[in-house]
């Protein structure tokens, strides 16, 4: 039996809707600029730009219903509602025609972003880690398995802050659909069971502040809700929020 120098942290995991099972999370990948209207609002050209991939640590997960303390080192925290793919079967160089076979399920996610740090990083050609991979930056609702709920090719995707609609689009508007995202990502990384892929956000991203309640949903996939609370209002960093 392996002896560790200190007890290993609990495995990050996400609830599976309608069951007491949990989905163990291996890695979190994200797609940038996957809706033409959001690509334009960020100053890009949707006709010419290939998918942008970045990642977050699996420990960045925060479950629906958990408070989200306003993170340090930003004054411009943004919401980004996204469809999340939960990979159940790994693979590399996945055939786009077979890509959906790798999906265990889907969830509603929110890719929280320090927009001010992202803008500064972009201006200097620097990496996005501090803008994207901070603690509790990856909010996620319970996963809905394909076996029960099928695949998600279309459906309204929306986000509201304090009951006011901020983002609304259709998943069918994604520049690279679920199969294309999986196939392309698998050319860079050998996908593993437990990988999550945040597939990008539509237009309407904007700031949230302590006191705000952020609700987001995708038709047929449920609702993700988190309250933004004061910095430090939650003690410590729970490295496995999803594991509780
Ligand atoms: Mn995003």
Q: Is the pLDDT of residue 240 over 50?
A: no
Cα(4) to centroid(ligand 1), Å: 36
What is the total count of domains within the chain? Answer: 1
Angle, alpha carbons 212-122-203 (nearest 5°): 45
Cα(40) to centroid(ligand 1), Å: 14
pLDDT number for residue 43: 85
> In 3-state terms, the chain is what percent helix, strand and coil (to 5)?
20, 35, 45
Length of the chain: 244
Q: Is the pLDDT of residue 242 over 60?
A: no
pLDDT number for residue 49: 76
Cα(202) to centroid(ligand 1), Å: 9
CA atoms within 13 A on the CB side of 50: 3
Strands 138-140 and 103-111: antiparallel
Residue 224 lies in a domain: yes
Mean pLDDT of the chain: 94
Residue identified by tokens 């993170």 is 71
CB 228 within 8 A of CB 210: yes
Residue identified by tokens 């909010």 is 139
pLDDT number for residue 243: 42
pLDDT number for residue 236: 62
pLDDT number for residue 40: 87
Q: Which of 32-36, 61-65, 82-86, 191-195 has the lowest mean pLDDT?
A: 32-36
pLDDT number for residue 191: 98
CATH number of residue 55's parent domain: 3.90.850.10
Mean of pLDDT values over 225-229: 98
Mean of pLDDT values over 142-154: 97
Residue 65 lies in a domain: yes
pLDDT number for residue 244: 41
Residue 50 lies in a domain: yes
Cα(203) to centroid(ligand 1), Å: 11
Residue 4 lies in a domain: no
Q: Is the pLDDT of residue 48 over 80?
A: no
- Rg of the chain taking only CA atoms, in angstroms: 17
Boundaries of domain holding 133: 13-229
CB 118 within 8 A of CB 175: no
Q: pLDDT (tens digit, 9 = 90+) per residue, 14-24?
A: 999 999 999 99
Confidence of residue 42 (pLDDT cuts 50, 70, 90): confident
Cα(2) to centroid(ligand 1), Å: 38
Residue 241 lies in a domain: no
Dist CA 151 CA 153 (whole Å): 6
Cα(78) to centroid(ligand 1), Å: 10
How many helices (H) and strands (E) the chain has is answered by: 5, 18
Between 135 and 46, residue with greater pLDDT: 135
Dist CA 25 CA 57 (whole Å): 10
Residue 234 lies in a domain: no
Would you give the end-to-end CA distance of the chain in angstroms?
25
Cα(200) to centroid(ligand 1), Å: 4
Residue 1 lies in a domain: no
């Amino acid at each position: 039996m392996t002896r560790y120098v200190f007890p290993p942290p609990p495995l990050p995991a996400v609830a599976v809707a309608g069951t007491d099972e949990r989905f163990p999370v291996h890695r979190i990948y994200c797609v940038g600029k996957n809706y033409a209207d959001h690509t334009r609002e960020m100053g890009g050209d949707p006709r010419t730009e290939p998918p942008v991939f970045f990642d977050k640590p699996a420990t960045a997960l925060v479950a629906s219903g958990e408070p989200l303390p306003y993170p340090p080192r930003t004054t411009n925290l943004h919401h980004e509602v996204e469809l999340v793919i939960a990979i159940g079967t790994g693979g590399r160089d996945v055939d786009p025609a077979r890509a959906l076979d790798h999906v265990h399920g889907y969830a509603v996610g929110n890719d929280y972003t320090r927009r001010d740090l992202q803008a500064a990083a972009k201006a200097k050609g620097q990496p996005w880690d501090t803008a994207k991979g901070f603690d509790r930056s990856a909010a996620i609702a319970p996963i809905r398995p394909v076996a029960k709920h099928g695949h998600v090719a279309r459906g309204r995707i929306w986000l509201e802050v304090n009951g006011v609609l901020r983002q609304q689009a259709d998943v069918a508007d994604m520049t690279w659909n679920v199969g294309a995202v999986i196939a392309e990502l698998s050319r860079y990384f050998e996908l593993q069971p437990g990988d999550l892929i945040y597939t990008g956000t539509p237009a309407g991203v904007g700031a949230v502040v302590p006191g705000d309640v952020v609700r987001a949903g995708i038709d047929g996939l449920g609702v993700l809700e988190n309250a933004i609370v004061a910095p430090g209002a939650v003690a410590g960093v729970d490295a496995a929020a999803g594991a509780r």
